[in-house]
Structure 1
Amino acid sequence: MILINLLPHREARQHAHRRRFRWLCATSTGIAVLLVGATAMWLSLAITVQERRNAYLQQAITKLDQDIGRIDLLKRQRSELLARKTRLDSLLRRRSDAIRLMDQLARLTPDGVYLRELKQDGEHIALSGYAISGARVPGFLRALGESDAFDMPQLVEVKTVTVNELRVSEFAVAIVLKQTGKPPATPSGDPR
């Protein structure tokens, strides 16, 4: 006997294909949504971790900026202290120069010559005073020139004046103070 199937078998097959197609589409869509969701969560987590790293680096940079500011402050204080030390060394050297100057002037001033005024401007010294006679002034200049403390004595002027009813020679002399020792060394650069 021959069986004839009058049922719409092609339509049933198409319907089954459609159902499978819909199921595959739904499954694919679900997997795609899960993948997109997982990727979004992973990216969100990665962004959060990177933001934490950035915050940590920013804190470290801020701390280093503060340290650099303190280092700059310390460098300024160091340079100020070195400048003060240099000035102090200079003052100490000048103090000994003043003592040496007065000592040498006391030794080199001959009898009959009296110093009235001494002005110092750096290394240049201006002396003025009185001499009992004009002949004693060149002797004083010669003694200044032969001294280890003074250079280039120059007679500025000599004139005869009356002081306490005595005729004396008033004179003015310019000399240069010789430097003793080396000036203090100034630091250069950063010792590291």
Structure 2
Amino acid sequence: MPHINLLPWREQQRKESHNKFVAILGVVVVLCIFSMFLLSSFYSSLHDGQNIKNSYLSNEIGLLDQRIREINQLDKKKENLQQRMRLIEELQSSRNLGTQIMDEVAKIVPAGVYLTKLERRGNRILVVGRSESNNRLSSMLRQVQSSYLLERPVMQGIIAGEQTSRLLSDFNMEFYVKPFDKITEVANEP
């Protein structure tokens, strides 16, 4: 037995163990690198998928923004058309306003009051005339206040005067035509 040398066998076994260890280590490194590659490609595909979703959403948001702009433009057109319609309605209703004013003035002027001048400036009407008494003028003021078309009567002055055998007072008065919306409210009431 003394002639058996176990050292080369141990040496050989060590080399084989070392080779196995290196092989296993190589396989583990390759598996790690492969798993890192798979993991990297998985996250890369997730990232690419999210980028695709984001670009799709960006396109859809762009389309929706365009539709919102179109809707806003349509709203502006609608508002312009409604404003035009209101203007046309006002013009249509005020078409006979001069005739209505003359008719209403004829209704509010009591007997004994004579108009010498009637002038319209926008919504303001200036009246110059003569009256037999101040009571008749106050009656005219009350008639203007209760009118559906006229409002805010203001007596600017009364000047007592003499003409032939009758006493007549000269007066200046102004009142206003009611705005269109007030006239239509009164006209639409039952």
Q: CA RMSD in A?
A: 3.7
**How many pairs are equivalent?**
175
Contact 1:153 1:175 in 2 (8 A): yes
Do the aligned partners of 2:108 and 2:143 also contact (CA within 8 Å) in 1? no
User: Whole-Å Cα distance in 1 between the matches of residues 93 and 186 of structure 2?
Assistant: 8
Residue by residue, what CA displacement relative to the aligned partner does 1:43-102 show, whole Å, maximum 9, x if unpaired?
222211111111000000111111112222222332333333334334444444433111
- Corresponding residue for residue 36 of structure 1: 36
- Residue 125 and residue 114 in structure 1: after superposition, are their counterparts in 2 closer, same or farther (change >3 A)? closer
Could you state the TM-score of these two structures normalised by the residue count of structure 2? 0.69
Contact 1:152–1:176, Cα closer than 8 Å, also in 2: yes
**Residue of structure 1 equivalent to 2:80:** 80
SS in structure 1 opposite 2:183?
coil
| TM-score (normalizing by structure 1) | 0.68
Counterpart of 2:4 in structure 1 is 5
> Aligned residue for 1:49?
49
Q: Secondary structure at the match of 1:6?
A: coil
The whole-number CA distance in structure 2 between the counterparts of 1:112 and 1:35 is 111
Q: Secondary structure, in 3 states, of the residue corresponding to 2:174?
A: strand
How has the CA–CA distance of structure 1 residues 174 and 112 changed in structure 2, closer, same or farther, with 3 Å as cutoff? closer
Give the Å deviation of 1:137. 8.4
Which structure has greater helix proportion?
2
User: Would you say 1:18 and 2:18 are equivalent positions?
Assistant: yes
- Partner Cα distance (1:92, 1:141) in 2: 34
**Structure 2 gaps, min length 5:** 163-167
| Distance of aligned partners of 1:118 and 1:141 in 2 relative to their CA distance in 1, 3 Å threshold | farther
For structure 1, list consecutive stretches of 5 or more residues without a partner in the other structure. 162-167, 185-192
- Secondary structure at the counterpart of residue 180 of structure 1: helix
Aligned-residue sequence identity (percent) comes to 18
Q: Do the aligned partners of residues 115 and 104 (structure 1) sit closer, same or farther apart at CA in structure 2, a change above 3 Å counting?
A: farther
Deviation string, structure 1 residues 16-68 (Cα, Å, up to 9, x no partner): 10010011011111111111111112222221111111100000011111111
